[in-house]
Amino acid sequence: MKKIVSLFRRDYDGDRLVIDEILPGAEWVANGEGIATRKWDGTCCKIEEGVFYKRFDAKHGKTPPEGFVPAQDPDPVTGHWPGWMKVGDGPEDRWFREGFANSIGDKFVKFGTFELVGPKVNGNRDKFDKHILVAHGDDIIENAPRTFEGLKTFFADLEIEGIVWHHPDGRKVKIKKKDFGFKW
């Protein structure tokens, strides 16, 4: 899974917040295309061909560890190189294994990308009582705004991390509450 582009341009020379300028390649969101879904505050993982992977970002030109599976080429600006590592048996992967075990059931998809959420993940801002895997794109947000001002108003009083729009052709675009300067 490649890094998802933001809906709006970020002011990298100033406060690092987004400005009212849609990024090239994200125009389809403003045009009303795609489905808005909730962005959960967790850790990305996937199941592919029966193998459970966790997201790994080889940051700032660092050499990735053995077993790293690249998701894309390194970003020439930030140096971030997102990819995947197999979930292992060690203590560092305990919550992934627990989330997987808690998510097995009739409705659980055996492949795809997910967000690991729960008490020991990113401060558990979404207040889950146990570790689970939430399938990406499952939680649709009806009538989500698609303009800068509309989204800024939307996020002002809503306690969610953000929105990810899914286009039928597989493209994705995201925006987060904190992109507008709101605390999350």
Domain range summary for the chain, segments of one domain joined by +: 1-40+139-184, 42-138
pLDDT score at 140? 96
Contact between 130 and 102 (Cβ < 8 Å): yes
pLDDT score at 62? 84
DSSP state for residue 177 in the 8-state scheme: G
Residue 69 to residue 177: CA distance in whole angstroms? 30
Residue 57 to residue 84: CA distance in whole angstroms? 8
| pLDDT (tens place) for every residue of the chain, 184 residues total | 677 889 999 998 889 999 999 999 999 999 999 999 999 999 999 999 889 999 999 887 788 999 999 998 888 878 889 999 999 999 999 999 999 999 876 556 578 899 999 999 999 999 999 999 999 999 999 999 999 999 999 999 899 999 999 999 999 999 999 999 998 7
pLDDT score at 60? 78
Quote the strand ranges of the chain, DSSP E.
5-6, 8-10, 18-22, 35-39, 43-48, 51-58, 69-70, 81-86, 112-117, 132-135, 162-166, 172-176
pLDDT score at 75? 82
For residue 140, what are the β-bridge partners?
37
Contact between 64 and 56 (Cβ < 8 Å): yes
pLDDT score at 37? 98
DSSP 29-80: HHTT-SEEEEEPSSEEEEEETTEEEEEEEEGGGPPPPTT-EESSPPPTTT--
In this prediction the pTM is 0.87
Q: Tell which residue, 9, 38, 44, has the closest CA to residue 26.
A: 9
The CA-atom distances, in angstroms, between 38 and each of 35, 68, 81, 145, 174 are: 10, 28, 25, 13, 10
